[in-house]
A and B are shown apart, each in its own frame.
Chain A
Amino acid sequence: MNGWIVLGVLLLVLCGLVAYVILIYNGLVQLRNDIDKAWSNIDVLLKQRFDELPKLIKVCEGYMQHERKTLEAVIQARSQVTSARGDQEKLQAQNALTETLRSLFMVVERYPELKADAVFRSLGSRISELEDQIADRREFFNDTVNGYNIRIAQFPDLLVANLFRFITRPLWQIDPAHRQDVKVVFEQV
């Protein structure tokens, strides 16, 4: 009888362990899917920003006839996003679009009538808000990836991760060109 009791207790413990392993596995699966979701949520905001651009360009065209080059750069960057294939190409196209928008807003400073335009102001604040949200969601993506990478490296999740081949995921990286110092040149008046 004692043998049966011991066997029963061992079975109990085994059931508990199996339940715990299932809990860990499900958690890791959720984390992995959350990373993909966080990445897609950045795309949602990038798409919203993309859709606002035609209205912005149209408003700017009315005031900035002499800034064709700047406006064309934005239009071209936008079309590159449409034609990009693959994650890396899309990422590069979005970064290029961010750069051209930054240049456009710098040039707008020379046009007080444009800045005072109600439609431009609302579009500008909307795009500015989207840029802030995109930055937040990139940080959120990195937090998600970081949490996942830590989980699969810590004990006892490490055992389950190795057993079911969960691998680390890379963090979002900025374009190396953006790490360089910005040179500011003041035009002599």
Chain B
Amino acid sequence: MSETELLIARKVATEPAQLMPVLRRLQQRICLDPYTTRQRLLGRGWALLAKGQAAQLETLAGALTPLGLQLVRLNPTPPRFAPQRLTALRQSADAIHFVLGDKELSLQRGEAVAGVLAELSGALLDKSLKQLMVQNAYRGADAVEPISDEEVYRTILRAQPVLDLYLLGEQGQPRGAVRVFPGRYDPKGLGERMSYSGAGNLEALLALLRDLAGSFTLYTRFGLDLLPGCKLKTGAKELPFSQDNLASLTRYGWLMLDLAAATSKPDQSPSGAGLLVASAAAELADLAKELNPSQPPPTPPPKKPDLPPPPELREDSPGALRRLLSFGSAAFGGIIYLALQGPGLLYGFFKYGFNSGALPALAAALCGWGGFHFLRLKRQMENTPTSRARSVAMGMVEIQGRAIRRYALVSPMTHLACVYWRLEKFRRDQNEQWKSVGVSSSGPVPFELEDATGRITIDPRGASIRPRQRQEGFPGQMSMLFAGVGSSDQQEKWIEEILGEGASLYVLGFASAPRQQRLSLRERTIERLRQLKSDPQALHRYDSDGDGRISESEWEAARLAEEKLALHDSLRQTEISGQGSLRPQIGRPPQRGLPFLIAESASEAHLTRNYAWYCGPLLLAALGFAAWALVIWAGVLFPA
């Protein structure tokens, strides 16, 4: 028997509290990668944790078992035989007879059987990965749930399923195995349960086994469990029922039987298969003392509600830079129009412009305006100290932090959680050059910015947004993980820019109180009194003399009581939300000349450095163009 053993863990839904500290200590002692190990322990099903000598595995298992993890150390049984293909079956009163070519295998009533229902096309694996990605995008990484057993079962039946059945003997060891390919055997033996679909017949067979067998265990996680020698090969060039995949399936079946045998034993033995208890080794004494062996099972965290879908919001009128770009595009369009009228007109236009000095003067004015714009912005950013989220004052503020989503916004190309995306589509023209055909964006969807002191809402309406994350892809490319899967139309490409969730942002904007929080105590009291008037039963409470009418003094008492309740509600809401009564949000300044900037930047210095690079050349260019215009005007005014 080989000395190398496997340590296999049953994954858990929630992370044990002490897991990472224990893994980090194990990293120092036995060079274990804590993050890979953690990933293997979370989720559903089984996963190989380590492979090695018994003593090493005992160290690892001894440290992890007190955390409530189920671990199995075993020397896997090599498959003694592979399942044989079913060609037909017969039923009798107390048995099923499987016809395997020229042989026959029988299952008597009350006997044990184990089955592995698998699909070999990769559809289950794809579905599982997509579900994880979508949940990560819409709920966050902490609230991801693996695909349920019911969903797994349904997905397998809809794809290309195969069923392996292991008929177990007295000791729980397999005495024979059958491989059922739906549609490739004669189903008449199912009798009344027979249907016209392969999947239907498969379900009928499973129901028959459940009725007849004394014990029937069905394993459905082939391809999802991370076990050695049990990998499913997928891809365009790989056939689902290839020899490799069928061999992997056979190994998986035998490994499941070993695990079942190991986990059914109530006691453990020092050698061979079995569950392990905390080792009494001296090197583990300090770990064992720090960990509470009787740790209660971790309570699952409360399920976080899904983020709401992003609201339908319209972009407001464009800012100054966009207006300038629109003007520039219109001017460019005018030049193109002139060019199309014939070379003579365009040439004449430019000649007159340069000879008169008008075009250089215009260029000087534009460059000068641009240079001073960036210089003013740079100085404004440097002059504004950074505020903290919990103590932002009304007015122009600068704040830095991480972006947090308020709505379930996901980028269209890369399917990443984000607070803003912008997608530009390009198509090849006749000259094989990429030409922009459309730009779309997520619009002004509000999000939150979090720093060390708290969170604040950002309303990006009218902001100049500078993302750094940029991806290029093709339509049909579902996400970066599935790059290469699906058709790629090389005639069209997309460029996507996003502000991802968790990105480090710099925001320069105007802090003001959001409208819904501007209700004063008087307004809230009026609202409560309005509701009181429409509720006769509630109003009756204040009828102290019982005459059926509310007198002036009774109404005054009601007003005072409702005011007190409104104040109490406000205080209670403050306690629940943990926020002040007026929490400002950052948005566009009311004055047009003030900037509103949202940039993905490591620090303010990075941004201001970039602006210094813009304004220097622009101002020099303005000076140059102005000098040129001056020379032309001097020549005109004082001809030689």
Interface size on A, residues (CB 8 A): 38
Shortest beta-carbon distance from A182 to chain B in Å: 25
Contacts of B382 in A (CB 8 A): 147
26 pairs of residues in contact across A and B, judged by CB atoms under 8 Å: A1-B640, A4-B637, A4-B638, A8-B630, A8-B633, A9-B627, A12-B623, A16-B623, A23-B375, A27-B379, A31-B383, A118-B575, A122-B574, A130-B580, A132-B390, A132-B391, A132-B453, A133-B390, A133-B391, A133-B580, A134-B391, A136-B390, A136-B453, A140-B385, A140-B393, A151-B383
Contacts of A134 in B (CB 8 A): 391
Shortest beta-carbon distance from B49 to chain A in Å: 45
CB pair B391–A1 under 8 Å, yes or no, is: no
CB pair A129–B638 under 8 Å, yes or no, is: no
CB pair B627–A136 under 8 Å, yes or no, is: no
Complex Cα distance, B574 from A125, in Å, reads 9
Number of inter-chain CB pairs below 8 Å: 85
Shortest beta-carbon distance from A115 to chain B in Å: 14
- Asked whether any CB of chain A lies closer than 8 Å to the CB of B24, the reply is no
CB pair A5–B387 under 8 Å, yes or no, is: no
Complex Cα distance, B388 from A155, in Å, reads 30
Contacts of A103 in B (CB 8 A): none
Complex Cα distance, B571 from A129, in Å, reads 13
CB pair A118–B631 under 8 Å, yes or no, is: no
Contacts of B388 in A (CB 8 A): 136, 140
CB pair A122–B630 under 8 Å, yes or no, is: no
Complex Cα distance, B361 from A8, in Å, reads 13
Shortest beta-carbon distance from A151 to chain B in Å: 7
Measured CB to CB, the residues of B under 8 A from A are 372, 375-376, 379-380, 382-388, 390-391, 393, 395, 453, 568, 571-572, 574-575, 578, 580, 619, 623, 626-627, 630-631, 633-635, 637-638, 640
Binary B-proximity of A95-113 (CB < 8 A = 1, otherwise 0): 0000000000000000000
Complex Cα distance, B388 from A156, in Å, reads 31
Majority secondary structure of chain B interface residues (helix, strand, loop or mixed): helix
Complex Cα distance, B622 from A16, in Å, reads 10
Contacts of A122 in B (CB 8 A): 571-572, 574-575
Measured CB to CB, the residues of A under 8 A from B are 1, 4-5, 8-9, 12-13, 16, 19, 23, 27, 30-31, 34, 37-38, 41, 44-45, 118-119, 121-123, 125-126, 129-130, 132-134, 136-137, 140, 143-144, 147, 151
Shortest beta-carbon distance from A126 to chain B in Å: 6
CB pair B574–A126 under 8 Å, yes or no, is: yes
Complex Cα distance, B631 from A121, in Å, reads 76
Contacts of A144 in B (CB 8 A): 385
A13-B623, A118-B572, A137-B393 are known; give 4 further A-B pairs, CB within 8 A: A12-B630, A23-B376, A27-B380, A122-B575
Known: A16-B623, A19-B372, A23-B375. A123 touches B638 (CB 8 A): no
A45, A118, A129: residue with the most chain B Cβ atoms closer than 10 Å: A129
Complex Cα distance, B580 from A134, in Å, reads 13
Q: B391 touches which one: A8, A9, A34, A136 (CB < 8 A)?
A: A136
Look across to chain A and name the residue whose beta carbon is closest to the beta carbon of B638: A1
Look across to chain B and name the residue whose beta carbon is closest to the beta carbon of A12: B626
Q: B383 touches which one: A4, A30, A136, A140 (CB < 8 A)?
A: A30
Contacts of B393 in A (CB 8 A): 37-38, 41, 44, 137, 140
Look across to chain A and name the residue whose beta carbon is closest to the beta carbon of B396: A34
Contacts of A151 in B (CB 8 A): 383
Shortest beta-carbon distance from A116 to chain B in Å: 13
Q: B580 touches which one: A16, A27, A129, A143 (CB < 8 A)?
A: A129
Contacts of B391 in A (CB 8 A): 45, 132-134, 136-137, 140
Complex Cα distance, B633 from A23, in Å, reads 29
Look across to chain A and name the residue whose beta carbon is closest to the beta carbon of B571: A122
Contacts of A125 in B (CB 8 A): 574-575, 578
Look across to chain B and name the residue whose beta carbon is closest to the beta carbon of A138: B391
Shortest beta-carbon distance from A78 to chain B in Å: 20
Q: B575 touches which one: A19, A38, A121, A147 (CB < 8 A)?
A: A121
Complex Cα distance, B384 from A12, in Å, reads 31
